[in-house]
Amino acid sequence: MAEPLWTSAEIAAATGGKLSGDAFVANGVSIDTRTIEPGDLFVALGGERDGHEFVDQARGKGAAGALASQPVAGSAIMVGDTLQALERLGVAARERAPKAKRGAVTGSVGKTSVTQAIMVGLKLAGRAHSSVKSYNNHIGVPLTLARMPADTERAVFEIGMNHADEIAPLTRMVRPHAAVVTNVGPVHTENFPDGETGVAKAKAEIFEGLQSGGVAVLDADSQWFGMLSEAAGKAGAEVRTFGRGEGCDARLIDFQRDGDHAVVQARLHGESLDFPILQTGAHWGLNAMAVLLMLEALDVTLSDSLAALGSFEPLEGRGAETAIHLAGGAVTLIDESFNANPLSMAAAIATLGARPTAGRRIAALTDMLELGPGAPGFHAALAGPLADAKVDLVFCAGPLMKSLWDALPPTRRGGYAETAEALSPLVVRAAEPGDVVMVKGSKGSKASAVAQALAALGRRSGGAG
C-alpha cells in the first residue's frame, strides 16, 4: 500500500499547528471544494469567500481533515494563518525529498506549455511531479510543493508574476536546480513604471532561489540576455543558452510545419538533431530548445527528452486545433484563447500565416490586458503582422481592439463588437468550410467565448473533430 502524502502529525510538525479531533492521513492537498478528492487535506484559505465556510462541504466530499485558523467540525490542524501554514508545508515537502531535482519556469509567454512539456520528459525518466494548470502564484507554488510526494525524483514548477518582488519568495520556496526564462515581453507593463525593463528585472528574480551551481537557461537572442545572464551569474549559476545564433548550447536551425506536426532541425552542443514535435506554432522551435536544456539539467536522457517533445500535444486554449465539421467541409479552429500579450499575439498571427488552407485565414481577437498607457498602440501595431501573415479577415472585440480595427484596411475587416460575446455570432456566421479561424485574447476579455461558440457550431451541425 502506498505511503500517505501526509499524516496529521507531519502536517502539525511542518506548520507549527495543533491537532483538533482525531488523527488522520491525507493523500492530497486541496484549496477548492469543486476539485477536492476523497482523502485530501482541505486548506481553508482566506479570500473573497473565506475557506472556513466550505470545510463542511469539503468533509462531505471525503476530505480527510482541514488546515484551519478558526474552529471547525471534525479533524483539523489548527494554525494562526492558513496561507503561511501552506507555505511551511510546501517547504517541508521540499526538505523531505532532498534528492529530488527541481526545475523552475518563468517568462512572459509560454510558461505553462513549457512546464508541461518538461513534465512529460520528467515522467519518462522516473517519479515526477509538477504544477497543474497555471498554478504559478503565491498560492499555486506552495500548493504544488505541498502536493509533492516524498519519493519524488524530479519536479518542475511554474512561477509567474504581475508585479515586482513576487517571483523572489516563490523561487526561494522551490530552490530549483535549474531555471529557465522562456522570454521577456511587454506583459503586465501597467504595473511597472519602467515598462519592459521592469518586467525583465522581475523575471531575473527567479535566480535568487537557485541552488548554488545550478543551471540558468536563457534565450541568447533576447535583448535582455545581458541583464538576465548577469543576474544568473551573481547567483552562481551556470548559464546555458538557446537561440538561433552560433554558439548557443541549443541552436535552432530550422522549423518546418508538416501537417499536424512540425520537424525541428537543431544543434545541441554542436551535435545535429532532427526530430518531430506535435506543435505547429513556429515559436515552438525555440520552446523545444529550452525544454531540451532544462531536461538535460534535470538529468533526463536525450532519448527521453526527444520522446517527450514528440508526444506533447498543444494544451487547451494554447494552440489546440479542432476540426469543426459543417455541411460541405470543415472549419479548423485554432484555440489560443487562454491569454494574450503582444509577444504571444505576434507568434500566433505568424503561425496562422504559415498555415496552408483551402479557404481563408481568419483571426478573431479580443483585448490584451494589463499593458498600461501604451495599450492602444500595442493593439494598433498588430495590423502589420496581420498583413504580413496574409490574414483574410480580422474580427475584433473590446475597447482596446478598436484601435486595431481602426488601423485595418476595409478589405481585412470582418466585424467589430464591444464584447467577445457580441462578436461570437459574427464570427460564427462568417466561418465557411475550408477556413482556418484563430481565436486569441486575454482571459479577462473572454476570448474563450468566441472559441466556444465556434465549437458549438460543429455540435449543432452534427459533429466535431
Q: Provide the residue ranges of all domains of the chain, joining segments of one domain with +.
A: 6-82, 97-311, 320-460
Distance CA 167, CA 194 (A): 18
Cell of 365: 481577437
DSSP state of 10: H
Distance CA 125, CA 291 (A): 14
- Could you tell me the strand order of the sheet in which 28-30 lies? 18-20, 76-78, 65-68, 40-43, 28-30
Cell of 386: 496581420
pTM exceeds 0.75: yes
Which CATH number applies to 320-460?
A: 3.90.190.20
DSSP state of 237: P
- Is 43 within 8 Å of 16 (Cβ atoms)? no
Q: Which stretches within 312-363 are classed as H helix?
A: 342-353
Q: Do domains 6-82 and 320-460 have the same CATH topology?
A: no
Closest Cα partner for 404 from 444, 445, 432?
A: 445
Topology classification of domain 6-82: 3.40.1390
Residue-wise pLDDT for 184-205, tens only, equals 877 666 777 778 888 899 999 9
**Per-residue tens of pLDDT for the chain, all 465 residues:** 578 999 999 999 999 999 999 999 999 999 999 999 999 999 999 888 899 999 999 999 999 999 999 999 999 999 999 999 999 999 999 999 999 999 999 998 889 899 999 999 999 999 999 988 778 999 999 999 999 999 999 999 999 987 889 999 999 999 999 999 999 877 666 777 778 888 899 999 999 999 999 999 999 999 999 999 999 999 999 999 999 999 999 999 999 988 788 999 999 999 999 999 998 888 899 999 999 999 999 999 999 999 999 999 887 777 888 899 887 889 999 999 988 889 889 989 998 998 888 899 999 999 999 898 899 999 999 999 999 999 999 999 999 999 999 999 999 999 999 999 999 999 999 999 999 999 999 989 999 999 999 988 765 444 433
Distance CA 203, CA 161 (A): 8
* Domain 97-311: CATH superfamily, name plus number: Mur-like, catalytic domain (3.40.1190.10)
Write down the pLDDT at residue 314: 81
